[in-house]
């Protein structure tokens, strides 16, 4: 079972990638495609403060579950992952 734990509201890109085991090239690819589609990286959880890029991990998990999760659950056990991500992310209104 996945166990995400963020002890800060905003984290660096390095921390985000380490926690989620995502490569920097994959994240850059996602950001590029997201911007090409006319979207803002703010919706992914990217927060630019001065010249520092920080991430809201809850918003990023929500974005990840909505836009990148492709393996839909086939039985009750698989739904636990979707429920976990949903519980630890917030709906942006």
Averaged pLDDT, 64-87: 66
Through-space distance between the first and last CA atoms of the chain, rounded to whole angstroms:
29
Q: What is the pLDDT of residue 2?
A: 47
**How far is Cα 78 from Cα 16, in angstroms, rounded to an integer?**
24
pLDDT tier, 5 (very low <50, low <70, confident <90, very high otherwise): low
pLDDT at 88 over 80: no
pLDDT at 1 over 50: no
Q: To which H or E segment does residue 29 belong?
A: helix 24-36
pLDDT at 60 over 70: yes
pLDDT tier, 80 (very low <50, low <70, confident <90, very high otherwise): low
Report CA-CA distances (Å) from 19 to 12, 15, 29, 57, 82. Answer: 11, 6, 18, 10, 18
Would you say the C-alpha torsion 40, 30, 68, 63 has a positive or negative sign?
negative
What are the tens digits of pLDDT across the range 11-58? 999 988 887 888 999 999 999 999 999 999 999 999 999 999 999 988
* Among the listed residues 23, 24, 66, the one whose alpha carbon sits nearest the alpha carbon of residue 43: 66
pTM for the structure as a whole: 0.70
User: To the nearest 10°, the Cα dihedral for 74, 80, 81, 86?
Assistant: 120
């Amino acid at each position: 079972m996945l166990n995400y734990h963020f002890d800060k509201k905003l984290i660096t890109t390095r921390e985000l990638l380490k926690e989620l085991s995502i490569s920097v090239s994959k994240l850059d690819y996602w950001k590029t495609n997201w911007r090409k589609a006319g979207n803002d990286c703010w919706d992914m959880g990217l927060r630019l403060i001065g010249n520092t890029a920080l991430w809201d991990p809850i918003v990023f998990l929500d974005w990840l579950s909505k836009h990148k999760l492709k393996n839909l659950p086939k039985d009750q056990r698989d739904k636990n992952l979707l429920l976990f991500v949903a519980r630890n992310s917030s709906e942006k209104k």
